């Protein structure tokens, strides 16, 4: 049976396609969702794809993943660098977590170099553009075998 993966996107990722295209590329969030659904079909995963600009909503969705999802792929956006609440929620549910950043956060401002989420992720992908979502889903499928 297909494993369920909750794909979470944090603040400003709804602006993909319009937002700093030199950094984040031309693809929209709808394009990323389509890419994830296609990867889900290839890797045998059922995809629940969501985005929120609100930290608390992301925390609630992570909590609700307990019992409904087998793994979480998360691009926490700017909350990567600030949110102990998201870190705590991911730690609480103890599901496999793959962290994705579209840009290479290590090549950017110093405040982007640290992610709270990385400490609870089994793997981190950054700098490969939206392809990172597909790579992370492939890694998640292997993890969930």
Q: Rounded CA gap, 55 and 111, in Å?
A: 18
Would you state the structure tokens that stand for residue 98, as one six-digit string? Answer: 């793959």
The verdict on whether residue 53 carries a ligand-binding annotation is no
Question: Phi and psi of 97, rounded to 5°?
Answer: -120, 130
**Residue 94 CB coordination number (10 Å):** 9
Asked whether 45 and 3 are in contact (CB, 8 A), the reply is: yes
Whether 101 is a known active-site residue: answer: yes
Residue 37 as a binder of ligand DHK (CB under 6 A): the answer is no
From residue 2 to residue 31, what is the string marking binding to ligand DHK with x (rule CB under 6 A)? ----------x-------------------
Is there binding between residue 130 and ligand DHK (CB under 6 A)? no
Stretch 78-107: interaction string toward ligand DHK, x if CB under 6 A = x-x--------------------xxx-x--
Cβ 120 to ligand DHK shortest distance, Å: 17
- Which residue in the set 40, 71, 77, 96 belongs to the binding site for ligand DHK (CB under 6 A)? 77
Following CA atoms 100, 105, 111, 114 in sequence, which dihedral angle do they give, to the nearest 10 degrees? 50
Residues with a catalytic annotation lie at: 24, 101
């Amino acid at each position: 049976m297909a494993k369920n993966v909750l794909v979470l996107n944090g603040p400003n990722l709804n602006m993909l396609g319009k937002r700093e295209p030199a950094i984040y590329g031309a693809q929209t969030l709808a394009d990323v969702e389509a890419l994830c659904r296609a990867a889900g079909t290839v890797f045998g995963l059922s995809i629940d794809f969501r985005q929120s600009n609100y930290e608390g909503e992301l925390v609630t969705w992570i909590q609700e993943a307990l019992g409904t999802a087998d793994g979480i792929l998360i691009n926490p956006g700017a909350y990567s660098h600030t949110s102990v609440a998201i870190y705590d929620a991911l730690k609480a549910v103890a599901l496999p977590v793959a962290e994705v950043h579209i840009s290479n956060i290590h090549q950017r401002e110093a405040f982007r170099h640290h992610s709270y989420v990385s400490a609870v992720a089994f793997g981190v992908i950054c700098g490969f553009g939206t392809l990172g979502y597909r790579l992370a889903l492939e890694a998640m499928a292997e993890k969930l075998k």
